[in-house]
Amino acid sequence: MSDTTASAVPPSNPSSTDLLPRVGSGINYERFLDCVHCGLCTASCPTYLETGNENDSPRGRIYLMRAVTDGRLELTHNVKEHLDLCLDCRSCETACPSGVQYGRLIEPFRVEMQQRAAKLSKSGGSYDWFQQWILYGLFPYPGRLRWALAPAKIMQVLKLDKLAERIGLTKLLPERLQRMQRLLPPLKRRERRLPEFLPAIGPRRARVALFTGCVAEAMFHHVNWATARVLQANGCDVVIPRTQACCGAIHYHSGAGQPALDLARQNANAFGAEDLDAVIVNVAGCGSMLKDYGHLADEVPSNDPHTVPLLEKFAGKIKDISEFLAALGPIAPKGEVRMKATYHDACHLCHAQKIREQPRDLLALVPGLELVPLAESEICCGAAGSYNLTEGEMADRLADRKLKNILATGAETVIMGNAGCSLQIQAALRKAESLIWVAHPMEILDLSYSGQDWHAQAPVKS
């Protein structure tokens, strides 16, 4: 295995970069050795399926990271590109017979790459405005994001967004802002703000808190309300702490470990004071990140000795909404939802959290719902957090692959439990001029509990 444009020999003359700690040196080396390079992961890796390049496979990336850690390979731009192309979907962990913790390799390695880049930028390195101002400065803050989306909502109502596309005005934007504009869904009218407490309907069976997220709260506020109503219908008191924050996945998956750790501590403190049976999450990517807080505390240095036990205790309370309801024993909904639907497995639900059957079992309780299988359901759609903004070409290829499989089902609705997947797949369906509704499992259950007609939620031709 080799990288044709990367030198395997360290430079003979030390430079300023040679004085920095070697990237990968902070990772438990035994995790690299767990990989026996059998190749069983390759058939499940979305990027390898598309490129056929061994460097874009899980075992190839492990080889590259280990070689950099050993000092046998320089961290060249080309090597970094192969690592950046990874979606961190964790499908390789599902396929691996040796139990390789790939996420515990790629994520801390990226943190160390980011730390190295930050140190180099102080001495004249490159500056990424999009990362600093959009990914870190806007997305993690739902209040800021709502204000930023207000003009877009007005443009949608007046159809000025369509006009701007037709006359080519959007092409004047930087590429990543163009992609943001294309991914933006039709923005729904916001329901009232979720209160800090919602009481159980009927006998109380549990007391839970709801994690509302950042992008999810700004764009999918209606899903948070649907989730809260479903929890109430299942006998749960629902608490919504006001001091909760972004889960930190946007920072951590792009290598910014310290801001992610700060957000983790804020969340642990926000939810920790409550006497809770669980902290409920309805976004797969957020749930995976929150459950990984214990690992985060190990991988990002902290001077506070209380950080690790604080985050580990909080992580132990995290439950995906489908996971929680399945364990609680759902109260069967009565209202008919007559539709033909298919279910897409969000990567960070099925691979990172190992939650597959629970959403399907819950949907099977809905009278009138016909659930048909989706080919390659567990292959990533290309969203992967902010990946579809930073690795656009590969994200589009994976979106097209997912779109073909969805259209082949003949379904009226595609259901998934992740905000990023929803944005990605909605954009692909709009491009194909398809009116398939993209829904969250809790939206379907909420319709059944309330007896509403699902057609009012479906997209209409503009």
Write down all domains in the chain, each with its CATH number in brackets.
Answer: 16-121 (1.10.1060.10), 129-183 (no CATH), 197-326 (1.20.1050), 333-456 (3.40.50.1860)
3-state secondary structure of 329: coil
Which residues have C-beta within 8 Å of that of residue 291, sequence separation ≥ 6? Answer: 315, 318, 352, 353
Q: What is the mean pLDDT of residues 292-309?
A: 84
- Helices and strands per DSSP (H, E), number in the chain: 24, 9
Contact (CB, 8 A) for 318 and 291: yes
Tell me: pLDDT of 321 over 90. yes
Contact (CB, 8 A) for 31 and 62: no
Helices (H), 184-283: 215-219, 221-233, 249-252, 257-272
Average pLDDT, the chain: 89
Rounded Cα distance between 400 and 352, Å, is 23
Contact (CB, 8 A) for 245 and 140: yes
User: Which H or E run contains 209?
Assistant: strand 206-211
| pLDDT tens figures, 239-276 | 999 999 999 998 887 778 889 999 999 999 999 867 89
> What is the longest distance spanned by two Cα atoms in the chain?
73
What pLDDT score was predicted for residue 461?
66
Contact (CB, 8 A) for 1 and 63: yes
Percent of the chain whose predicted confidence (pLDDT) is above 70? 93
Contact (CB, 8 A) for 406 and 436: yes
What pLDDT score was predicted for residue 125?
53
* Contacts within 8 Å (CB) and 24+ apart, 8-13: 8/67, 8/72, 8/73, 10/71, 10/72, 10/74, 11/74
What pLDDT score was predicted for residue 7?
37
Helices (H), 340-385: 347-350, 357-363
| pLDDT tens figures, 373-387 | 999 999 999 998 888
Question: Judging by beta carbons within 10 Å of its beta carbon (0-12, 13-18, 19+), is residue 196 exposed, middle or buried?
Answer: exposed
Rounded Cα distance between 269 and 265, Å, is 6
| pLDDT tens figures, 127-141 | 678 888 888 899 999
What pLDDT score was predicted for residue 162?
85
3-state secondary structure of 218: helix
Contact (CB, 8 A) for 346 and 417: yes
Q: What is the mean pLDDT of residues 98-111?
A: 90
pTM, rounded to two decimals: 0.89
Within 10 angstroms of residue 67's Cβ, the number of other Cβ atoms is 21
